[in-house]
Amino acid sequence: MDDALLDLLRHVDTPTVCNAIEVAQGKRGFNDFTRGTMVASDGSALAMVGYARTARIQAVKPPSEPADVIKARRMGYYKYMSEGPRPGVAVVQDMDVPNAIGAYWGEVNTNIHKAFGLSGALTDGVMRDLGDLPDGFPVVAGSIGPSHGFVHVIDFDHPVEIFGMSVPPGALVHADRHGGVVIPDDIIPKLADAIAQLMRSEKIVFDAVRGKRIDFAEFETVWAAFEAART
Q: Give the separation between CA 209 and CA 205, rounded to whole angstroms.
A: 6
Q: Give the separation between CA 18 and CA 30, rounded to whole angstroms.
A: 8
Q: What does the pLDDT look like over 28-63, one tens digit per residue?
A: 999 999 999 999 999 999 999 999 999 999 999 999
Most distant CA pair in the chain, distance: 73
Q: Give the separation between CA 53 and CA 89, rounded to whole angstroms.
A: 6
* Residues 92 and 123 reside in one and the same domain: yes
Tallying the residues shown for the chain, one arrives at 231
Number of folded domains that form the chain: 2
* Residues 14 and 54 reside in one and the same domain: no
Q: At what angle do helices 216-230 and 191-209 cross, to 10 degrees?
A: 170
Q: Give the separation between CA 37 and CA 55, rounded to whole angstroms.
A: 21
Positions in the chain short of pLDDT 70 = 231
* Residues 71 and 142 reside in one and the same domain: yes
pLDDT at 160: 98
* Residues 12 and 54 reside in one and the same domain: no
Q: Which residues of 191-202 are buried (b: 16+ CB within 10 A; e: fewer)?
A: bbebbebbeebe
* Residues 114 and 212 reside in one and the same domain: no
Q: Give the separation between CA 2 and CA 87, rounded to whole angstroms.
A: 11
State the burial class of residue 190 (Cβ atoms within 10 Å of its Cβ: 0-12, 13-18, 19+). Answer: middle
* Residues 52 and 128 reside in one and the same domain: yes
* Residues 16 and 67 reside in one and the same domain: no
* Residues 171 and 188 reside in one and the same domain: no
The residue from 145, 160, 183 where one domain ends is 183
* CATH number of the CATH domain containing 76: 3.50.30.40
pLDDT at 158: 98
* Residues 17 and 47 reside in one and the same domain: no
SS3 per residue for the chain? CCHHHHHHHHCCCHHHHHHHHHHHHCCCCCCCECCCCCEECCCCCCCEEEEEEEEEEECCCCCCCCHHHHHHHHHHHHHHHHCCCCCEEEEEEECCCCCCCCEEECHHHHHHHHHCCEEEEEECCEECCCCCCCCCCCEEECEECCCCCCCEEEEECCCEEECCEEECCCCEEEEECCEEEEECHHHHHHHHHHHHHHHHHHHHHHHHHCCCCCCHHHHHHHHHHHHHHHC
pLDDT at 50: 98
The residue from 183, 204, 219 where one domain ends is 183
pLDDT at 3: 94
* Residues 92 and 125 reside in one and the same domain: yes
* Residues 164 and 114 reside in one and the same domain: yes
pLDDT at 231: 63
pLDDT at 192: 97
pLDDT at 179: 98
pLDDT at 169: 98
Domain that holds residue 14: 1-30+184-231
Tally of CB atoms within 10 A around 120:
31
* Residues 177 and 188 reside in one and the same domain: no
